[in-house]
Amino acid sequence: MQKAGRFLRSVNRRAPSDEPEAVASTAYYAMHHAACAVLLHHGKSLPKTHSSLIGLFGLVVRDLGPEGREAGAALHNAFETRSTGDYSAAVRLTRADAIAAREAAQSFVAYCRTLQRKSPQRRK
């Protein structure tokens, strides 16, 4: 979770209007590392691909109520936004995209921290 916190601090320092792609990418990686921490906390092995990690995170949190399902969807959306910003030559992310990515990362990392506090650590 420490790495997620470092990435989140970096997101909060960046100006959304100057570098929206960098904000969106860093926001996704804050979420990615928070999801990794939750999976490890629940005794899961980390998948090798982003898509597999997103899917496994969704399986872990889907039965935790609407907030868990929203977190899974937020992680997927952040991955899509990051991919668009990093790889699309035709689409440029906007300041609004960057602000939304930053807010999503803040909420997601906070949610993941509560998951770690609520549940005892499990082993494989």
Report pLDDT for 89: 85
What is the CATH number for 90? 1.20.120.330
43 pLDDT more than 60: yes
124 pLDDT more than 80: no
15 pLDDT more than 90: no
Q: What is the mean pLDDT of the chain?
A: 92
Task: Give the total number of structural domains in the chain.
Answer: 1
- With respect to residue 59, please indicate whether it lies within any of the assigned structural domains: yes
User: In angstroms, how far is the first alpha carbon of the chain from the final one?
Assistant: 19
- With respect to residue 7, please indicate whether it lies within any of the assigned structural domains: yes
- With respect to residue 123, please indicate whether it lies within any of the assigned structural domains: no
Q: What residues make up the domain containing 77?
A: 2-118
Report pLDDT for 120: 61
- With respect to residue 124, please indicate whether it lies within any of the assigned structural domains: no
Q: Which residues contact 77 (CB under 8 A, 6 or more apart)?
A: 104
Q: Is the pTM of this model over 0.85?
A: yes
pLDDT in tens, 63-121: 888 999 999 999 999 999 999 998 988 888 999 999 999 999 999 999 999 998 886 65
